[in-house]
Structure 1
Amino acid sequence: MQEIELKFLVPESRLKGLLRQAQIKSSEVTQLAAHYYDTPDQQLAQAGIGLRIRQEGDAWVQTIKAGGDGIAARLEHNAVLDNKQVQAMLESNTLMPDLSIYKNTSVAPALAKFKLKKLAKKLIRLYVTDVERTTRLLVDDSDDESNNHIEMAYDYGEIIHGNDETYRTAIQEIEFELISGDIDFLFTTAKTWCKRYKLCLSTVTKAERGGLLITERNHSPAVGADLNRLTVNKNSSIPAFIRAAVHNCLLQILPNSSAIVAGSDDDDHILQLYIGTARLQAALQVFASYSDEINPDWLPILKQTAALLSEYRELTYLASHIEPDLQQQGAPIVDWTADIDALKMTPKDTVSANDFQLTLLELIAFTMSDPSLEPQADKPVIDKLAKTLSKQYAKLGKTAQMLQSKKGADFDSITIENNDLKNKALESVGSKDIDSGSINSKNVDVENDDIENIDIDDNDEEQAIHELHHQLTTLLYISEFAAPLLDKKKSKKKTKRWLKRVVKAQTALNQYRNHLTYQQCYQLKSETDINALYGAGWFAAMLAIDYKHTEKCLAKVTDSSIF
Structure 2
Amino acid sequence: MQEIELKFLIPQARLKGLMRQARVKSSQLTHMAAHYYDTSEQDLAQAGIGLRIRQEGDVWVQTIKAGGDGIAARLEHNTILDNEHVQAMLDANELMPDLTLYKDTAIAPALADFKLKKLAKKLTRQYLTDVARTTRLLIEDSNEENSSKERSTIEVAYDLGQIIHGSDDSQCQDIHEIEFELVSGELAFLFATAKTWCKRYKLCLSTVTKAERGGLLVKGHSYSPAVCADLGQLNVNQHSSRPAFVRAAVHNCLLQILPNSSAIAAGSRDDQHVLQLRIGIRRLQVTLKAFEKFSDQLNTEWHSILKQTAALLGDYRKLAHLATTIEPDLRQRGAPSIDWAIDLERIKITPMDTVRANDFQIILLELIEFTMSDPSTEPQANKLAMDKLPKILAKKHIKLLEAEQDFEDFQYNDSKRNGLIDSGLKNSDLINSDLEDNSVEQDNLEPSHSSSNPVHKVRRHLKDLRYVSEFAAPLYAKKNSKRWLKRLIKAQKALGQYQDHNYYQQCYQQKAFTDPNALYGAGWFAALLKDDGKRMQKRLARIQDSAMFW
If the length of structure 1 is used for normalisation, what is the TM-score? 0.90
Match for residue 445 of structure 2? 448
- Distance (Å, rounded) in 1 between the aligned partners of 2:458 and 2:48: 40
Contact kept? 1:224, 1:441, Cα under 8 Å: no
Q: How many residues align?
A: 525
Contact kept? 1:32, 1:54, Cα under 8 Å: yes
- Distance (Å, rounded) in 2 between the aligned partners of 1:204 and 1:115: 28
Contact kept? 2:204, 2:265, Cα under 8 Å: yes
In the alignment, structure 1 residue 406 sits paired with structure 2 residue 410: yes
In the alignment, structure 1 residue 317 sits paired with structure 2 residue 307: no
Q: 1:409 to 1:524 in 2, by over 3 A?
A: closer
- Distance (Å, rounded) in 2 between the aligned partners of 1:55 and 1:132: 11
1:398-447 deviations in Å (ceiling 9; x for gaps): 11121122112899xxxxxxxxxxxxxxxxxxxxxxxxxxx997576523
- Which residues of 2 match residues 200-239 of structure 1 at below 5 A? 200-239=204-243
Match for residue 168 of structure 1? 172
Aligned with residue 341 of structure 1, among 338, 342, 345: 345
Match for residue 136 of structure 1? 136
Contact kept? 1:102, 1:108, Cα under 8 Å: yes
1:87-110 deviations in Å (ceiling 9; x for gaps): 111111111111111111110110
- Distance (Å, rounded) in 2 between the aligned partners of 1:518 and 1:258: 30
Match for residue 473 of structure 2? 483
Q: 1:327 to 1:217 in 2, by over 3 A?
A: closer
Match for residue 192 of structure 2? 188
Match for residue 497 of structure 1? 483
- Distance (Å, rounded) in 2 between the aligned partners of 1:285 and 1:466: 18
- Distance (Å, rounded) in 1 between the aligned partners of 2:96 and 2:450: 65
Contact kept? 1:281, 1:299, Cα under 8 Å: yes
Contact kept? 1:225, 1:440, Cα under 8 Å: no
- Distance (Å, rounded) in 1 between the aligned partners of 2:450 and 2:216: 48
- Which residues of 2 match residues 10-159 of structure 1 at below 5 A? 10-143=10-143, 145=147, 146-159=150-163
Contact kept? 1:6, 1:176, Cα under 8 Å: yes
Q: Which moved more, 1:327-336 or 1:228-237?
A: 327-336
Aligned with residue 467 of structure 1, among 453, 457, 460: 457
- Distance (Å, rounded) in 1 between the aligned partners of 2:511 and 2:441: 24
In the alignment, structure 1 residue 529 sits paired with structure 2 residue 512: no
Structure 1 unpaired stretches of 5+: 412-438, 458-462
1:325 Cα offset (Å): 2.8
1:187 Cα offset (Å): 0.5
Paired residue type of 2:391: K
Match for residue 374 of structure 2? 370
Match for residue 422 of structure 2? none
1:134 Cα offset (Å): 0.3
Q: Which moved more, 1:545-554 or 1:63-72?
A: 545-554
- Distance (Å, rounded) in 2 between the aligned partners of 1:325 and 1:162: 39
- Which residues of 2 match residues 204-283 of structure 1 at below 5 A? 204-283=208-287
% same residue: 63
If the length of structure 2 is used for normalisation, what is the TM-score? 0.92
SS of 1:53's equivalent in the other structure is strand
1:456 Cα offset (Å): 5.3
1:541 Cα offset (Å): 3.2
- Distance (Å, rounded) in 2 between the aligned partners of 1:329 and 1:43: 41
SS of 1:159's equivalent in the other structure is strand
- Distance (Å, rounded) in 2 between the aligned partners of 1:495 and 1:72: 32
Contact kept? 2:450, 2:456, Cα under 8 Å: no
Q: 1:16 to 1:456 in 2, by over 3 A?
A: closer
1:545 Cα offset (Å): 2.3
Paired residue type of 1:117: K
SS of 2:457's equivalent in the other structure is helix
Q: Which moved more, 1:284-293 or 1:440-449?
A: 440-449
- Distance (Å, rounded) in 2 between the aligned partners of 1:49 and 1:179: 22
SS of 1:482's equivalent in the other structure is helix
- Distance (Å, rounded) in 2 between the aligned partners of 1:455 and 1:270: 21
SS of 2:316's equivalent in the other structure is helix
1:168-225 deviations in Å (ceiling 9; x for gaps): 1110000000001110110110011111111111111111111111111111111111
Q: Which moved more, 1:535-544 or 1:259-268?
A: 535-544
SS of 1:5's equivalent in the other structure is strand
Q: 1:278 to 1:389 in 2, by over 3 A?
A: same
1:25-53 deviations in Å (ceiling 9; x for gaps): 11110000111111111111111011111
1:328 Cα offset (Å): 3.9
1:542 Cα offset (Å): 2.4
Q: 1:52 to 1:329 in 2, by over 3 A?
A: closer
SS of 1:177's equivalent in the other structure is strand
Paired residue type of 2:384: P
In the alignment, structure 1 residue 350 sits paired with structure 2 residue 336: no
SS of 2:289's equivalent in the other structure is helix
Contact kept? 2:279, 2:442, Cα under 8 Å: no
- Distance (Å, rounded) in 1 between the aligned partners of 2:337 and 2:281: 34
